[in-house]
Amino acid sequence: MSESTATGITAIAQHTSGVEIVLDRVVKVYPGQQAPAVQDFSMTVAPGELVMFVGPSGCGKTTTMKMINRIIEPSSGSISIGGRDVLSLDPNELRRHIGYVIQQIGLFPHMTIAENIATVPKLLGWSKPRIAERVDELLETVQLDPGTFASRYPKQLSGGQQQRVGVARALAADPPVMLMDEPFGATDPITREKLQAEFLRLQESIGKTIIFVTHDFDEAIRLGDRIAVLSDRSRIEQFDTPANILAEPANDYVASFIGHGAALKRLALVPVEEATLGAAVGTSGAPTIEFAGNLRDALDVLVLTGLPAVDVVDEQGRAVGSLSVDRISAVLGAELPGRTAGSRAGAR
Ligand SMILES: Nc1ncnc2c1ncn2[C@@H]1O[C@H](COP(=O)(O)OP(=O)(O)OP(=O)(O)O)[C@@H](O)[C@H]1O
């Protein structure tokens, strides 16, 4: 490795919380192919941001992501992480400083869970006590008891547990950047929701810069700070926050991707505290909604109970006000100042 390469890696490795990723006119033409799989892809991802790539099969999501850690070499264009040109760095070294989680998990079957998590720290030459401490810490972070799981083998874990280990392994050397390729895709819907919720909580504390590939638009809405909706050759059709994409899809392609129920999806993003509450009703025995909940949960209660209003309660269970369908609708209306009814309908 040249000296400048070593300096570049050190600069990336110094960071543990997120750094900026910049892709500039990145192109990938696979050998023997006429058309590029990725054409002129440019994007800046802010430090600590969680960006979701969503698009149909074959549009180039994975190719684009894999060029960042150089599992796939770009044909042209530039990519930088924390201001360092990744194409000038040693690819193997680079990968040790970028966490990588894939759907197939890729745990080594003949290694224990602890050994799996320790792979990169070992390659980086960490001491045994430091590695052991890190493995325990990470298992706890992903809610697996080290005493129970550290010495097990992957096949002795459920799919969801294996996926948690995959995340722990990617985090082992505390990389500033994580690339995640359909990481929860192979799990059943309930496990998937659980993993998503855990992952969101985790990201709140670690603040990595993350690129996350998914087919599932609802997953993108739930997790992303911003979503890039991609079409053929990784063309960016829209790159914006989930709320903005739901409220105002850039074109018919994005609208079709959102599918039905955009208003309901938007409600799930709006916390109860953003609504203007009415007076508490105080009907005894009626279901309530927590102040920390979202407007979709509140609407669920209203629909299921048929009540005109549902009480909102604080952490102590005290009613602090109430929500009705009108009050919930008013929040969505207020989010779209000056928008005509016609354009709102377009956000379907
Ligand atoms: N090694 C390869 N050689 C030739 N073409 C390839 C290669 N890998 C991918 N492609 C092609 O490049 C395009 C983009 O593939 P890519 O895997 O990036 O898409 P994707 O959006 O991630 O798809 P999926 O969601 O199905 O994983 C596809 O048309 C694919 O057939």
Q: What is the 3-class SS of the chain, one letter each residue?
A: CCHHHHHHHHHHHCCCCCCCEEEEEEEECCCCCCCCCEEEEEEEECCCCEEEEECCCCCCHHHHHHHHCCCCCCCEEEEEECCEEHHHCCHHHHHHCEEEEECCCCCCCCCCHHHHHCHHHHHCCCCHHHHHHHHHHHHHHCCCCHHHHCCCCHHHCCHHHHHHHHHHHHHCCCCCEEEEECCCCCCCHHHHHHHHHHHHHHHHHHCCEEEEEECCHHHHHHHCCEEEEEEHHHEEEEEECHHHHHHCCCCHHHHHHHCCCHHHHHHCCCEHHHCCCECCCCCCCCCEEECCCEHHHHHHHHHHHCCCCEEEECCCCCEEEEECHHHHHHHHHHCCCCCCHHHHHHCC
Residue ranges of domains in the chain: 3-97+175-259, 265-346
Q: What is the pLDDT of residues 38-56, one digit of tens each?
A: 999 999 999 999 999 999 8
- Please give the structure tokens belonging to residue 277: 């509450």
In this predicted structure, what is the pLDDT of residue 291?
Answer: 85
Mean pLDDT of the chain: 85
338: pLDDT strictly greater than 60: no
Q: Is the ipTM of this complex over 0.90?
A: yes
How far is the centre of ligand 1, averaged over its atoms, from the C-alpha of 276 (Å)?
48
230: pLDDT strictly greater than 90: yes
* Cβ–ligand 1 contact at 259 (below 6 Å): no
How far is the centre of ligand 1, averaged over its atoms, from the C-alpha of 184 (Å)?
20
In this predicted structure, what is the pLDDT of residue 233?
Answer: 95
Q: What is the pLDDT of residues 151-205, one digit of tens each?
A: 999 889 888 888 888 888 888 878 889 999 988 877 777 778 888 888 888 888 8
Are the CB atoms for 209 and 176 separated by under 8 Å? yes
Residue of the CA atom closest to atom 28 of ligand 1: 58
| pTM, full prediction | 0.81
Residue 347 confidence class, pLDDT cut points 50, 70, 90: very low
Residue 341 to residue 343: CA distance in whole angstroms: 6
285: pLDDT strictly greater than 90: no
How far is the centre of ligand 1, averaged over its atoms, from the C-alpha of 256 (Å)?
22
Q: What is the pLDDT of residues 6-16, one digit of tens each?
A: 556 566 556 66
The mean pLDDT of 118-140, rounded to a whole number, is 88
Round to the nearest angstrom and report the end-to-end CA distance of the chain.
54
Top CATH class of 3-97+175-259 equals alpha beta
In this predicted structure, what is the pLDDT of residue 54?
Answer: 94
Residue of the CA atom closest to atom 11 of ligand 1: 37
Q: What is the pLDDT of residues 139-151, one digit of tens each?
A: 988 888 889 988 9
How far is the centre of ligand 1, averaged over its atoms, from the C-alpha of 30 (Å)?
9
Residue 95 to residue 51: CA distance in whole angstroms: 19
Relative to the CA of 215, which ligand 1 atom is closest?
Answer: 25
* Cβ–ligand 1 contact at 34 (below 6 Å): no
Top CATH class of 265-346 equals alpha beta
Residue 342 confidence class, pLDDT cut points 50, 70, 90: very low
